[in-house]
Amino acid sequence: MNGKFVLDTNVIIDYLNGQEELKPLSEQIVSGIGFVSVITRMELFAFPGLTPEGESGLKCFLADLIVVPLNDEIEQASIAIRRNTRLKLPDAIVAATACIKEAALITRDKHLLDISWPGLNMLVPK
């Protein structure tokens, strides 16, 4: 995959936990422009069982990605997605981030994969 992508929280967790099928994700990150929503970053660092080593690993991993803050455009898109799909607000924000950045959303989240939204392209890592 060459291009822009947004990584969802579940994919990052699985990748950092060493799931074999996600090893090619490293090449995708290097060859494309990677984003994460500030919501994803918050979810990752708020994990109750996060060790100091895990936090350090997260910081290293996220250093190669662009963290996208909430802004008015993402806020409005998130509201529209949430209102029309009933996704949880964090998922709606991640989806809106992908739409606004015109990037593929890489996710394993069944709730996200079940929706259809204009401009939202999702990829399931193999």
Task: Enumerate domains of the chain plus CATH numbers.
Answer: 4-123 (3.40.50.1010)
Comparing 8-12, 31-35, 49-53, 105-109, which segment has the lowest mean pLDDT?
A: 31-35
What torsion do the CA atoms of 18, 20, 38, 72 make, to the nearest 10 degrees? Answer: -170
Determine contact, residues 34/7, Cβ cutoff 8 Å: yes
Confidence band for 124, pLDDT divided at 50, 70 and 90: confident
> What pTM does this model have?
0.90
Please report the pLDDT score of residue 123 as a whole number. 86
What are the pLDDT digits (tens) for 64-115? 899 999 999 999 999 999 999 989 999 999 999 999 999 999 999 999 999 9
Beta-carbon-side half-sphere exposure of residue 89 (alpha carbons within 13 Å): 7
Query: What per-residue confidence (pLDDT) applies to 17?
Result: 85
pLDDT at 1: 44
The percent of residues above 90 in pLDDT, for the chain, comes to 74
